[in-house]
Chain A
Amino acid sequence: MAINYSAIQNVLQEFVTSVGNIQGASIMSPDGLALASSLPPGMEEDRVAAMSAAMLALGERIGRELSRGNIERILIEGDKGFAMVSGCTDDAVLIVLTDDKGKLGVLNLEVKQLIARLRPMLTFSKSQVA
């Protein structure tokens, strides 16, 4: 079966609306193409996708250079909230945005659960690719 992007889209939308202080979530390919998103108005999906992929790739490269092992996530902490980028599967990267009331502990936990939910939806056997 092919990947059901509208189902993924629904999961992201539900995540953004049901979890407190979350402003947006988006997944993209590791080379920066948007797959599915629920983003605040005015935020351009394609740009977010390219930036998230670039950030994770550069973070992973820096992590390797500085011997930090496997990179779990890249965190941007601003006075208006967090942006957290995590590898979701080998073929997908996740970014989650919070507002300034977001708590890092909650974000960590929620992102972990979101990834666990998305992972099976993003996995497909190569033989099924047309």
Chain B
Amino acid sequence: MERTSPKQVMRIVATGPVGAGKTTLIKTISEIDVVETDRAATDDSVLLKPNTTVAMDFGRITFGPNMAVHIYGTPGQERFSFMWDILVHRAHALMLLVPLHRPSDFFMASKMLRYLQFHASDVPLVVVGTHRDLPDAWPAEEVLPALGIEPDAGIPIFSVNATQTHEAVQVLIALIEQYQRLTQSHAKAG
């Protein structure tokens, strides 16, 4: 914990396949104008949406006087994996967004999960099923096996509509609590 600074800054990184809703989620919860780097998509993602993030998104939300959450969104395509490296490296907590209505993306999501577990194994992680509101959305808990997550792995899963502030904030609060439990147990151990 940064004891010297008056404000604690927690960095959360949101990642997941193209069109999972990373930019949308950040825009939903950020208090500031989100820093976006989207460009017209010319790959397959154009089938889902006209624009795609090519570097990162950045938003901020404050909880009380002492806590600021900085939330970063990665690009979804694997060719931008160098951005995952840059952002995940400094993250305090991670969100893996999975589009519940697109089973074809579950494999990509499981690959990203593998990546996160390898590069940031000690960082709190939640799985966030998105597009919950769509008729063909899978129940979130049924997605876990598809991602290769054991039921007893202790990874919390949420299902949200990323345009709904209260749903997105719930995920955020759960992640902050998980992070604080971890830092407190570290403090006790140390």
Contacts and interface: CB of A to CB of B under 8 A. Distances in A.
Given A54-B55, A57-B37, A61-B37, A31 B42 contact: yes
Interface residues of A, number: 18
Contacts of A53: 39, 54
B167 interface: no
Nearest to B58: A61
Contacts, number: 54
A47 B35 contact: no
22 contacts: A29-B42, A31-B41, A31-B43, A31-B52, A31-B54, A32-B39, A32-B80, A33-B79, A46-B79, A47-B82, A50-B77, A50-B79, A54-B37, A54-B54, A57-B37, A57-B55, A58-B37, A58-B55, A58-B56, A61-B36, A61-B37, A65-B35
Nearest to A52: B54
Closest 4 interchain pairs by CB?
A57-B37, A54-B55, A50-B79, A58-B55
B43 A33 contact: yes
B40 interface: yes
A34 to B, nearest CB: 9
A49 B42 CA distance: 13
